């Protein structure tokens, strides 16, 4: 009898472990050039009827996160009819890229430099943009768009507003404020009423989007607010900008490409991340995928130590014991995992933003705010392109 019980218990444990193993979907590669999508096709049951899919990143400087999302976006475009790539960057900063992928005579690295945010100025992003351009050239019936949803740089949006509005009184009024970052923030009170008049006077979609993002930035003085309050406001604005774009272009099916904290459902019951607001508005049509790693290098701005203020390569030799990365490292190098497959004790994950301190202790996120994860065991630092903007 005892032996039978032991055998039954062993069978039960092995079955439990085996079923947990097989529930994690191994992914073939991060290589966007791979045309075999048999692995990603297994995700279709989770992607069905989604119109916005947020795909995050545990660091802003991991090469594999961008290349895997490139491959994933390519699959969504070619198999699920997705047509829009939404970046954690300003709309005005992404317009030159969008023009480039629609055939404008331009240099891709110079177009990308308009974004100005260092995490995106990489060779990996250049490859994605060039693929979108090539796709548009080959598929006139299914055009892709590259869109920004953030609202951090009013001066970028003001320059684009000035370019778009017709000659006349409002253009002349706006002209003195197109000379850079400093004057925009010194003259906020003067610029806001001009932008509001532009918003009333012109109905063009791009003008409306740019005016909205400009006012989001200028009507709140970020420099005097508390950090958490600013983050919450910014996330709400990003969600509103995505929803506004979708309202103007109802056929939009998009990947929202941003940090894990932005695409997640993180909230305190009333305020939360961009993903939280998108879920409230879109329901099951929004889906969020976090990206995690176990060990390796990444790019970030160092905020302490002798290299303070410098962008450089940082290293995490090993994930902590209750981190998602350490847990998944035992199961494979590249996986798709549902959040509800995780043991309760695996509740932490990396959340490394644009900057880190020497101890790398400002990097913790929670796994409960996601529908699923793409796990890349080893992280390597992104590669920046070198040409400068004109």
Same domain, yes or no: 66 and 101? yes
308 found inside a domain: yes
Same domain, yes or no: 287 and 140? yes
Written as six digits, the tokens of 273 are 């991340």
* CATH code of 100's domain: 3.40.1660.10
Q: Report pLDDT digits (tens) over 218-261.
A: 877 555 555 556 778 999 999 999 999 999 999 999 999 999 99
Task: Tell me the C-alpha distance between 180 and 176, whole Å.
Answer: 10
Same domain, yes or no: 125 and 208? no
Strands of the chain (E only): list them: 25-26, 52-55, 84-90, 145-150, 254-257, 286-302, 311-316, 334-338, 348-350, 355-356, 364-366, 372-379
Same domain, yes or no: 264 and 134? yes
pLDDT, average across residues 200-210: 96
Task: Tell me the C-alpha distance between 254 and 370, whole Å.
Answer: 18
Same domain, yes or no: 368 and 303? yes
Same domain, yes or no: 168 and 203? yes
Q: Last residue of some domain: 219, 237, 257?
A: 219
Q: Report pLDDT digits (tens) over 314-340.
A: 998 888 878 999 999 999 999 999 999
Same domain, yes or no: 189 and 287? no
8 found inside a domain: no
**CA 79, 84, 85, 90: dihedral to nearest 10 degrees?**
-170
Q: Report pLDDT digits (tens) over 296-319.
A: 999 999 887 788 888 999 998 888
Q: Give residue 229's pLDDT.
A: 67
For the chain, the domain total comes to 2
Q: Report pLDDT digits (tens) over 277-301.
A: 999 999 999 999 999 999 999 999 9
Q: Give residue 16's pLDDT.
A: 44
> End-to-end distance of the chain based on CA atoms, in angstroms?
81
Q: What is the mean pLDDT of the chain?
A: 90
Of 249, 225, 264, residue with least CA distance to 91: 249
Q: Give residue 339's pLDDT.
A: 95
Q: Characterize 179-191 residue by residue with b for buried, 16 or more Cβ atoms within 10 angstroms of its Cβ, and e for exposed.
A: eeeeebbeeeeeb
Q: Is the dihedral of CA 220, 224, 227, 228 positive or negative?
A: negative
264 found inside a domain: yes
Q: Give residue 269's pLDDT.
A: 78
Same domain, yes or no: 194 and 273? no
Q: Last residue of some domain: 219, 240, 275?
A: 219
9 found inside a domain: no
The burial class, CB within 10 Å (0-12 / 13-18 / 19+), for 315 is exposed
pLDDT, average across residues 342-346: 93
Q: Residue 390: is its pLDDT beyond 70?
A: no
Q: Last residue of some domain: 171, 196, 219?
A: 219
Task: Tell me the C-alpha distance between 151 and 142, whole Å.
Answer: 28
Q: Residue 342: is its pLDDT beyond 60?
A: yes
Phi, psi of 375 (to 5 degrees): -105, 125
Q: Give residue 307's pLDDT.
A: 81
Task: Tell me the C-alpha distance between 147 and 389, whole Å.
Answer: 19
Could you count the other beta carbons within 10 Å of the beta carbon of residue 111? 23
242 Cβ neighbours under 8 A, 6+ residues apart: 52, 86, 149, 254, 256, 274, 278
Same domain, yes or no: 192 and 293? no
13 found inside a domain: no
Same domain, yes or no: 242 and 321? yes
390 found inside a domain: no
Range(s) of the domain holding residue 304: 29-146+227-379
SS3 331: coil
Q: Give residue 219's pLDDT.
A: 78
Same domain, yes or no: 138 and 155? no
Using DSSP bridges, classify how beta strands 286-302 and 311-316 pair: parallel, antiparallel or unpaired: antiparallel
HEC string of 107-175 equals: CHHHHHHCCCCHHHCEHHHHHHHHHHHHHHHHCCCCCCEEEEEECCCHHHHHHHHHHHCCCCHHHHHHH
389 pLDDT tier (thresholds 50, 70, 90): very low
Same domain, yes or no: 195 and 277? no
pLDDT, average across residues 55-81: 97
């Amino acid at each position: 009898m005892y032996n039978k019980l032991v055998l039954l218990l062993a069978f039960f444990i092995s079955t439990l472990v085996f079923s947990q193993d097989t529930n994690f979907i191994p992914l073939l590669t991060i290589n966007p050039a791979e045309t075999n999508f048999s692995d990603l096709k297994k995700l279709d049951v989770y992607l069905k009827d989604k119109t916005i899919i947020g795909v995050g990143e545990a660091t802003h400087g991991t090469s594999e996160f961008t290349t895997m999302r490139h491959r994933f976006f390519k699959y969504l475009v070619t198999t699920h009819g997705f047509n829009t790539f939404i970046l954690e960057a300003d709309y005005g900063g992404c317009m030159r890229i969008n023009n480039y992928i629609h055939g404008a005579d331009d240099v891709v690295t110079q177009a990308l430099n308009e974004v100005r945010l260092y995490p995106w100025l990489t060779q990996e992003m250049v490859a994605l943009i060039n693929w979108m351009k090539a796709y548009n050239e080959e598929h006139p019936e299914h055009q892709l768009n590259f869109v920004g949803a953030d609202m951090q740089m009013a001066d970028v949006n003001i320059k684009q507003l000035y370019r778009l509005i017709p000659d006349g009184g409002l253009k002349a009024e706006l002209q003195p404020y197109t000379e850079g970052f400093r004057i925009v923030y010194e003259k906020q009170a003067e610029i806001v009423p001009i932008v509001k008049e532009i918003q009333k006077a012109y109905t063009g979609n791009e003008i409306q989007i740019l005016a909205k993002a400009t006012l989001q930035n200028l009507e709140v003085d970020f420099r005097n607010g508390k950090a958490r309050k600013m983050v919450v406001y910014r996330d709400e604005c990003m969600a509103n900008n995505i929803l506004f774009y979708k309202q103007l272009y109802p056929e939009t099916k998009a990947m929202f490409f941003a940090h894990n904290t932005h695409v997640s459902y993180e909230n305190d019951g009333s305020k939360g991340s961009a993903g939280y607001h998108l879920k409230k508005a879109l329901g099951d049509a929004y889906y969020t995928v976090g990206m995690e790693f176990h060990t390796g290098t990444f790019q970030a701005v160092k905020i302490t130590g002798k290299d303070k203020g410098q962008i450089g390569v940082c290293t995490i030799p090993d994930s902590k014991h209750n981190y998602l990365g350490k847990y998944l490292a035992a199961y494979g190098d590249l996986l798709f995992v549902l959040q509800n497959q995780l043991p309760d004790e695996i509740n932490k994950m990396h959340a490394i933003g644009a900057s880190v301190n020497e101890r790398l202790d400002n990097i913790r996120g929670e796994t409960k705010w996601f529908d699923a994860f793409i796990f890349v065991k080893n992280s390597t630092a992104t590669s920046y392109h070198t040409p400068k903007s004109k």
